[in-house]
């Protein structure tokens, strides 16, 4: 849509910050008030609005998108999103290991084993791993523990974690990133281990390269949003 405002300001309201476009508060797609919990996030939101040219391009406003998702989706679909995350725990990609070749098996052990062990030691969630394509059923008690851990997260953390999990295919990687166990680069590398190995063997086409670049960028947005809301 065309840019319809000139001035972008911040206002304080109910202990948070609102974005004012020519004095009018920004609302979400569901017409709820866009309210940032702190000034760092509010400043980033406002800057995204200021940076727009003649057209307002939502794809260039990732922090606004994440906050609107937290307000519109997480606040109204919290339980279903938690169940989606628990579902990822039940089929976490780092629990499924190659049987061969030996160098891939070794890489998976080196990169993924520390995350699985961290989930058990620090999070109290002990995941089973397996080799090959046969599905392994995780213990219900462990998934219940995961559900309880997710239940105490706020809507901003759930919004970020949900995207980090879907982008990496692993709630364990997402949780490790959420709790600062690994940084963004290591999280991405862990999530792309199998694909990187295949690229080394067979190369990569342009379309796949662009898709991965977009995913990496989106993971960075999720991590940045998480850092801003804390």
Q: What is the pLDDT of residues 33-78, one digit of tens each?
A: 999 999 999 999 999 999 999 999 999 999 999 999 999 999 899 9
Residue 2 maps to a domain: no
Residue 23 maps to a domain: yes
pTM: 0.94
| Exposed e or buried b per residue across 157-190, where buried means at least 16 C-beta atoms within 10 angstroms of its C-beta | bbbbbbbbbbbbbbbbbbbbbbeebbebebbbeb
213 shares its domain with 136: yes
191 shares its domain with 151: yes
Question: Alpha carbon of 85 to those of 62, 131, 137, 166, 170: distances in Å?
Answer: 22, 23, 16, 9, 9
56 shares its domain with 91: no
CATH assignment at residue 47: 3.30.2180.10
Position 19 scores a pLDDT of 98
152 shares its domain with 41: no
88 shares its domain with 190: yes
Number of structural domains (the chain) is 2
Position 220 scores a pLDDT of 98
112 shares its domain with 18: no
Residue stretches of the chain with pLDDT short of 70: none
Residue 225 maps to a domain: yes
Position 205 scores a pLDDT of 87
Give helix 75-90 / helix 140-151 axis angle, nearest 10°: 150
CATH assignment at residue 103: 1.10.3580.10
81 shares its domain with 56: no
Residue range of the domain that includes 219:
77-229
């Amino acid at each position: 849509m065309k840019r319809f405002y000139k001035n972008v300001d911040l206002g304080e309201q109910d202990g948070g910050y609102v974005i004012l476009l020519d004095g009018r508060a920004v609302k979400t797609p569901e017409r709820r008030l866009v309210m940032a919990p702190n000034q760092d996030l509010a400043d980033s939101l406002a800057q995204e609005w200021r940076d727009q040219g003649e057209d307002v391009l939502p794809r260039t406003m990732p922090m606004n998108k994440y906050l609107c998702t937290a307000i519109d989706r997480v606040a109204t679909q919290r339980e279903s999103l938690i169940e989606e995350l628990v579902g990822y725990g039940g089929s976490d990609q780092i629990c499924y290991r190659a049987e061969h070749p030996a160098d891939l098996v070794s890489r998976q052990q080196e990169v993924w084993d520390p995350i699985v062990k961290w989930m058990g030691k620090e999070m109290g969630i002990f995941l089973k791993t397996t080799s090959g394509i046969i599905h392994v059923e995780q213990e219900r008690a462990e998934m219940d523990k995961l559900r309880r851990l997710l239940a105490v997260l706020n809507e901003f953390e759930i919004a970020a974690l949900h995207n980090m999990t879907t982008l990496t295919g692993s709630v364990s990687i997402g949780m490790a990133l959420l709790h600062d166990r690994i940084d963004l680069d290591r999280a991405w590398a862990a999530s792309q281990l199998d694909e990187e190995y295949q690229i080394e063997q067979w190369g990569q086409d342009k379309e796949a390269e662009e898709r991965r670049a977009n995913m990496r960028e989106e993971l960075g947005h999720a991590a940045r949003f998480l850092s801003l809301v804390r």
